[in-house]
Chain A
Amino acid sequence: MTDPVAFLLGLGFTVVPLVGYLARLVVKRRRLRSDLARPPHL
């Protein structure tokens, strides 16, 4: 593994999990917010 590849890999291992988690969280929050606004399920 060369130095630039390792650096990009390290950067990717930081950005991808963070962005992935944040995106999932935003989608989940949007769904929950619309669920809260809907009348309750029977």
Chain B
Amino acid sequence: MDDNVTTPAQTHAIGVPTMFIRTLPYAAVGSLILLGLLVWFAAPDWSGQTDVTAPLTRNLLFVHPAAAWAAFLGYGIVFWMSVRYLNRPDPLVDMKAATAAEVGFLFNTIALLTGTVWGAMEWVESGQNALATVYSEPKVLVVLVTWFTFGAYLSLRRVIDSEPRRARLSAVFGILGGLGVPFSFATSRLISTSLHPDVAGPGSNPDAALGAIVGGILAWSAVAFTLLFLVLYRMRLEAMRWEDQIVERDAAVGA
């Protein structure tokens, strides 16, 4: 049978239709190219706006929130898989949580680094310490704590050899870390000293309204980063399953 022929019933090993899995990398690359074109040709010239102190750096608007979104998507998956694991222990569920944590941590790192640069340009006034100003902002602080929690989660997985113990402890850590996501959303809405603008949802700041074009590109950046997240997640999960298969095979031969 031709390998390229798929039926609706045919699914990939991780439970997603094979057709979707195969087209995912192309969709991710295509959406990133389109994002670049949209930013280049359609994004406004920020230098014409009076409230923008660093017009070129303002274009990080199409990277930083999308990276944060992809990180939160990963942490959301970790949270959900951790709850599922504690409810009914299953090594594959633990593997999915570990994969989502690793890829989410990557996007969280990108969001923190790009946010630091952007914040240093937009928030810091002369005479202020840039890092102190950026990292004392409530939302940045919450995201930084979440980043450290998932850094600890990933370190924890490296040092514990016993698989069930590692999975159980990781699940507890995953749930604690996952709580950082709603906390992060809440900080800019509940704490008045937050420098992050609320651009969407109830209670959003009308001064921070994006407009149709900028809002559209921002939404597209979230789509592109979501696809990128899914590609990396799928590649890493498959590699993790192969690692497991090799260990099991070698153990069976050695026994």
Known: A21-B232, A33-B242, A40-B249. Contact between A13 and B56, CB under 8 A? no
Would you call B206 an interface residue if the criterion is a C-beta within 8 Å of the partner chain's C-beta atoms?
A: no
Smallest CB separation, B224 vs chain A (Å): 12
Contact indicator A36/B246 (Cβ below 8 Å): yes
Contact indicator A29/B235 (Cβ below 8 Å): yes
Contact indicator A3/B56 (Cβ below 8 Å): yes
Tier of interface size on chain A? 20 to 34
A1-42 residues with Cβ-Cβ distance < 8 A to B are 1, 3-4, 6-7, 9-11, 13-14, 17-18, 21-22, 25, 28-29, 32-33, 35-36, 40-42
Smallest CB separation, B131 vs chain A (Å): 12
Known: A18-B228, A21-B232, A22-B232. Contact between A6 and B67, CB under 8 A? no
A6: chain B residues at CB < 8 Å are: 54, 56-57, 117-118, 120-121
B55: chain A residues at CB < 8 Å are: 3
Smallest CB separation, A12 vs chain B (Å): 9
Smallest CB separation, A21 vs chain B (Å): 5
Known: A14-B114, A33-B242. Contact between A3 and B106, CB under 8 A? no
Contact indicator A18/B106 (Cβ below 8 Å): yes
Interface flags, B231-253, vs A, CB<8A=1, else 0: 01001101100110110011011
Give the interface of A toward B (CB within 8 A).
1, 3-4, 6-7, 9-11, 13-14, 17-18, 21-22, 25, 28-29, 32-33, 35-36, 40-42
Can you give 7 contacting A-B residue pairs, CB < 8 Å? Answer: A6-B117, A7-B60, A10-B57, A25-B235, A29-B235, A32-B246, A40-B249
